[in-house]
Amino acid sequence: MRLVLEKRPEASAAMAIASPLIALALTVVTGGIIFALRGNNPVDAIYVYFIEPWVALWSVEQIIVKAAPLVLIGAGLSVCYLANVWNIGAEGQFTMGAVLGGAIPVLFPEWQSPLTLITMLALGIIGGMAWGAIPALLRNRFNANEILTSLMLVYVAQLFLDWLVRGPWRDPMGFNFPKSITFSNWQLLPYLTSGIHLGVIFAIIAAVALALLLGRTMKGFEIRVAGQSPRAARFAGFSQKWTVLFCFLLSGGLAGLAGVSEIASVVGQLQPQISPGYGFAAIIVAFLGRLNPIGVILAGVLLALSYIGGEAAQISLGVSEKIARVFQGVLLFYILACDTLILYRIRWQQRLPSAQGA
Amino acid sequence: MRKFLMTAAAAALALGAASASAEAAMDKVKACWTYIGPIGDFGWSYQHHQGLEAVKKEFGDKVETVYVENVLEADSEKTFERLAREGCNLIFGTSFGYMEPMLKVAAKFPDVKFEHATGYKTAPNLGTYNAKFHEGRYVIGQIAAKVSKTGKAGYIVSVPIPEVISGINAFMLGAQSVNPDFKVEIIWINSWFDPGKEADAAKVLLSKGADIMVQHTDSTAPLQEAEKVGAQGFGQASDMIKFAPKAQLTAIVDDWAPHYIKSVKAVMDGTWTSGQYWGGMNDGEVAMAAYTNMPEDVAKMATETAEAIKTGKLHPFTGPITRQDGTVVGEAGKPLSDGDILGMNWYVKGIDDKLPQ
Alpha-carbon span B168 to B162, nearest angstrom: 10
A351: pLDDT confidence band, cut at 50, 70 and 90?
low
Residue B264, pLDDT > 90, answer: yes
- SS3 label, residue A289: coil
B302 and B221 within one domain: yes
Q: Give the pLDDT of residue A353.
A: 56
pLDDT at B17 over 50: no
In a domain, B349, yes or no: no
pLDDT the model gives residue B357: 67
B199 and B76 within one domain: no
- Averaged pLDDT for residues A326-334: 82
Q: In the predicted model, what is the mean pLDDT of residues B155-174?
A: 94
pLDDT value at residue A293? 94
> Residue B68: which of A58, A275, A315 has the nearest Cβ?
A315
Chain pair A-B, CB pairs under 8 angstroms:
78
Question: B192-211 burial, b for 16+ CB within 10 Å, e for fewer?
Answer: bbbbebbbbbbbebbeeebb
CB-based contact A274 B159, cutoff 8 Å:
no
Q: Are A315 and B86 a contacting pair at CB < 8 A?
A: yes
Portion 153-172 of A in contact with B at CB < 8 A: 162, 166-167
Tell me how far CA of residue A59 lies from CA of A28, A53, A196, B109, in angstroms: 20, 5, 11, 16
Nearest to B75 by CA among B116, B34, B47: B34
**Contact: B161, A175; criterion CB under 8 Å:** yes
Q: What is the CATH number of the domain that holds B335?
A: 3.40.50.2300
Cβ contact, residue pair B357, A167, below 8 Å: yes
Fold entry, domain A41-318: ABC transporter involved in vitamin B12 uptake, BtuC (1.10.3470)
* CA–CA gap between residue B154 and residue B205 (Å, rounded): 5
Question: Percentage of residues in chain B with pLDDT exceeding 70?
Answer: 93
Instruction: Tell whether B261 and B304 lie within a shared domain.
Output: no
Which has the minimum average pLDDT: A139-153, A166-180, A242-256, B5-19? B5-19
**Residue A175: predicted pLDDT:** 82
In this complex, is the C-beta atom of A52 within 8 Å of any C-beta atom belonging to chain B?
no
CB contact under 8 A, A276 and B75: yes
Question: Which one, of B224, B232, B236, B229, lies nearest residue B248 by Cα?
Answer: B232
Amino acid identity at B14: A
Give the DSSP letter string of A117-145.
Answer: HHHHHHHHHHHHHHHHHHHHHHHHHH---
Query: Which of B78, B92, B340, B347 to mutate against chain A (most A CBs within 10 Å)?
Result: B78
Do the domain assignments include residue B347? no
pLDDT at A16: 75
The chain B residue lying nearest A318, using CA atoms, is B66
Q: Does B261 touch chain A (CB under 8 A)?
A: no
Q: Answer yes or no: do B101 and B138 share one domain.
A: no
Q: Which one, of A94, A99, A105, A96, lies nearest residue A187 by Cα?
A: A105
Segments forming the whole domain that contains residue B312: 134-253+286-342
DSSP A128-194: HHHHHHHHHHHHHHH---HHHHHHHHHHHHHHHHHHHHHTTTS-TTSTT-S--PPP-GGGSPPBSSS
Chain A CA closest to residue B160 = A176
Does B38 or A332 have the greater pLDDT score? B38
Looking at the whole model, is its pTM more than 0.90? Answer: no
Q: Given pLDDT bands bounded at 50, 70 and 90, which one contains residue B230?
A: very high
pLDDT in tens, A264-289: 999 999 999 999 899 999 998 998 88
Interface of A with B in 315-354 (CB under 8 A): 315-316, 318, 320-321
CB proximity B100 to A under 8 Å: yes
Note whether A268 contacts B100, CB cutoff 8 Å.
yes
Q: Are residues B31 and B128 in the same domain?
A: yes
B139 and B128 in a common domain: no
CA–CA gap between residue B345 and residue A177 (Å, rounded): 11
**Lowest mean per-residue pLDDT among A221-225, B16-20, B180-184, B335-339:** B16-20
SS3 letters for B146-159? Answer: HHCCCCEEEEEECC
Q: Residues B71, B166: one domain?
A: no
Q: What is the mean pLDDT of residues B249-272?
A: 95
- Nearest CB to A273; choose among B70, B72, B79: B72
How many separate domains does chain B show?
A: 2
B163 with B240, same domain: the answer is: yes
Domain for residue B41, yes or no? yes
Q: State the best of B75, B104, B347 to mutate against chain A, taking most chain A CBs within 10 Å.
A: B75
pLDDT one-digit tens code per residue, B170-188: 999 999 999 999 999 999 9
pLDDT band at B13 (very low <50, low <70, confident <90, very high): very low
Whether residues B242 and B123 share a domain: the answer is no
Tell me: the pLDDT tens digits for A2-49? Answer: 788 888 877 777 777 788 788 889 988 998 898 888 888 889 888 988
pLDDT tops 70 at residue B290: yes
Query: Where are the domains positioned within chain A?
Result: 41-318
Is pLDDT at B23 greater than 80 in this prediction?
no
- Contact status of B194 with chain A (Cβ, < 8 Å): no
Are the beta carbons of B86 and B31 closer than 8 angstroms? no
* Amino acid letter, residue B299: A
Which is more confident, A321 or B247? B247
Q: Is B4 exposed, middle or buried (0-12, 13-18, 19+ CB in 10 A)?
A: exposed
B209 touches chain A (CB under 8 A): no
How high is the pLDDT of residue B2? 40
Can you tell me whether residue A340 is helix, strand or coil? helix
Q: Which residues of A touch B70 (CB under 8 A)?
A: 321
pLDDT given for residue B20 in this prediction: 41
Q: Which of A266, A308, A320 sits opposite B77 (nearest CB)?
A: A266
B5 against A37, higher pLDDT: A37
Amino acid letter, B230: G
Q: Provide the shortest C-alpha distance from residue A197 to chain B (in Å).
A: 14
Confidence of residue A352 (pLDDT cuts 50, 70, 90): low
Asked whether residue B354 is domain-assigned, the answer is: no
By 3-state DSSP, what share of chain A in percent is helix, strand and coil, each rounded to 5? 70, 5, 25
pLDDT tens by residue, A166-196 = 889 999 888 888 899 999 999 999 999 888 9
Q: What is the mean pLDDT of chain A?
A: 90
**pLDDT exceeds cutoff 80 at B88:** yes
How far A321 CA sits from the closest chain B CA (Å)? 7
- pLDDT at residue A354, rounded to an integer: 56
**Scanning every residue of chain A, which has its alpha carbon at the shortest distance from the alpha carbon of B35?**
A321
3-class secondary structure, A345: strand
Q: Report the Cα B269 to chain-centroid distance in Å.
A: 27
Q: Which of B82, B96, B163, B340 to mutate to test the interface with A (most CBs of A within 10 A)?
A: B82
Residues listed for chain A: 358
| pLDDT at res. B10 | 44
Does one domain contain both B298 and B278?
Answer: no
In terms of domains, do B330 and B195 share one?
yes
Task: Find residues 258-297 of chain A whose CB sits inside 8 Å of chain B.
Answer: 262, 266-269, 271-276
The pLDDT value given to residue B252: 95
Domain presence at residue B348: no
Report the residue of A61, A159, A170, A177 to disrupt the B interface, i.e. the one with the largest count of B CBs within 10 Å.
A177
pLDDT in tens, B104-133: 999 999 999 999 998 889 999 999 999 999
Residues B128 and B126: their CA atoms lie apart, in Å, by 7
- Neighboring chain A residues of B160 at a CB cutoff of 8 Å: 176
- The whole-angstrom separation of Cα A102 and Cα A117 is 10
At A8 the pLDDT is 81
| Between B189 and A353, residue with greater pLDDT | B189
- B147 and B202 co-located in one domain: yes
Tell me how far apart the alpha carbons of residues B295 and A37 are, in angstroms, rounded to a whole number. Answer: 51
pLDDT value of residue B232: 96
